[in-house]
């Protein structure tokens, strides 16, 4: 195991947890047709796997946002770069996120979506980095509690890399990885001998 990174959540654990989340959501929304909304780009991998574990008619939609400076500077205010294609008025909305960190972006987004008068809004986040939360918010469906360390893989990036790593890796030395991104090559699909700690 490297000092630069370690496997935080392996692909099998992720798969099993998403199965459970899908079952729970299926039970909670029985008889309804929720709209699952993913915030590009990180949440798209999670959304793709999650919808295949939900046994209900679901709609999906995407939003893309860009920040004014860092999340903390902008207090979460974002510019909507790509808006939803569907009208969510009267619908049950589930926001599907890869990770909730400070919560600033998401709480702002929730206030924007609430103004469109959906029947309900719930948050489903694969990872909850609760130690860093600034804006309190309810995460109704949570995959895992995430330690306060930078993570990549399963949709999460470092400078747009590593979204395609099937596991979630904790990065302990960002500078080393930035200067040698090939360190994670064994974790890419088909990247050689099966890494340990899966
Ligand atoms: P926040 O909750 O407003 O601070 O922002 C959350 C967003 O920051 C997430 O949707 C991710 O795009 C990004 N992010 C936060 N923590 C990490 C991490 O550990 N790795 C990769 N992206 C992260
Ligand atoms: Mg995100």
User: What pLDDT, on the 0 to 100 scale, is given for residue 70?
Assistant: 59
H or E, element range at 165: none
User: What pLDDT, on the 0 to 100 scale, is given for residue 166?
Assistant: 96
| Residue list, ligand 1 pocket, CB within 6 Å | 42, 71, 76, 97-106, 150-152, 156
Burial class (CB in 10 A: 0-12, 13-18, 19+), 61: middle
Residue 16 pLDDT level (bands cut at 50, 70, 90): very high
132 Cα nearest atom in ligand 1: 4
pLDDT at 74 over 90: no
The arithmetic mean of pLDDT across residues 146-167, rounded, is: 96
Task: Provide the whole-model pTM.
Answer: 0.93
Please name the residue whose Cα sits nearest to atom 4 of ligand 1.
102
Separation of 97 CA from ligand 2 center, angstroms? 6
Residue 33 pLDDT level (bands cut at 50, 70, 90): very high
pLDDT at 75 over 90: no
Ligand 1 site-directed mutation target among 101, 108, 145, 171, most atoms within 8 Å of CB: 101
User: What pLDDT, on the 0 to 100 scale, is given for residue 198?
Assistant: 46
User: What pLDDT, on the 0 to 100 scale, is given for residue 195?
Assistant: 56
Ligand index nearest the alpha carbon of residue 8: 1
Instruction: Report in angstroms the alpha-carbon separations of 47 from 8, 39, 121, 125.
Output: 20, 10, 16, 10
CA–CA separation, 19 vs 8, rounded Å?
A: 19
Tokens of 183: 């360190």
What's the mean per-residue pLDDT of the chain? Answer: 92
Going by the DSSP 8-state scheme, the letter that residue 158 receives in this structure is B
Catalytic residues, which ones? 101
Mind giving me the DSSP string for 82-149?
A: E--SS--TT-EEEEEEEEESSSHHHHHHHHHHHTT--SEEEEEEEEE-GGG--S----SEEEEE--SS
User: What pLDDT, on the 0 to 100 scale, is given for residue 78?
Assistant: 78
Phi-psi region of 36 (alpha: psi -120 to 50; beta: other; left: phi over 0): beta
pLDDT at 190 over 90: no
Please name the residue whose Cα sits nearest to atom 20 of ligand 1.
151
Ligand 1 site-directed mutation target among 108, 139, 156, 159, most atoms within 8 Å of CB: 156
Separation of 189 CA from ligand 2 center, angstroms? 22
CA atoms within 13 A on the CB side of 186: 13
User: What pLDDT, on the 0 to 100 scale, is given for residue 71?
Assistant: 55
């Amino acid at each position: 195991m490297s000092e630069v990174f370690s496997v935080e959540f392996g692909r099998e654990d992720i798969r099993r947890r998403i199965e459970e989340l899908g079952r729970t959501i299926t039970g909670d929304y029985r008889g309804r047709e929720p709209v699952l909304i993913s915030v590009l780009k990180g949440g798209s991998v999670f959304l793709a796997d999650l919808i295949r574990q939900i046994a209900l008619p679901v709609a999906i939609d995407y939003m893309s946002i860009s920040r004014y400076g860092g999340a903390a500077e902008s207090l979460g205010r974002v510019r909507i770069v790509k808006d939803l294609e569907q009208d969510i008025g009267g619908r049950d909305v589930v926001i599907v996120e890869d990770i909730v960190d400070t919560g600033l972006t998401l709480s702002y987004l929730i206030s924007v979506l609430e103004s469109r008068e959906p029947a309900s809004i719930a948050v489903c986040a694969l990872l909850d980095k609760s130690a860093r939360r600034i804006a309190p918010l309810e995460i109704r469906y949570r995959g895992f509690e995430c330690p306060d360390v930078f993570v990549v893989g399963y949709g999460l990036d470092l400078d747009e890399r590593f979204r395609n790593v099937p596991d979630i890796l904790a990065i302990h030395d960002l500078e080393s990885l930035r200067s040698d991104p090939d360190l994670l090559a064994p974790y890419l699909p088909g990247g050689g001998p099966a890494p340990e700690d899966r």
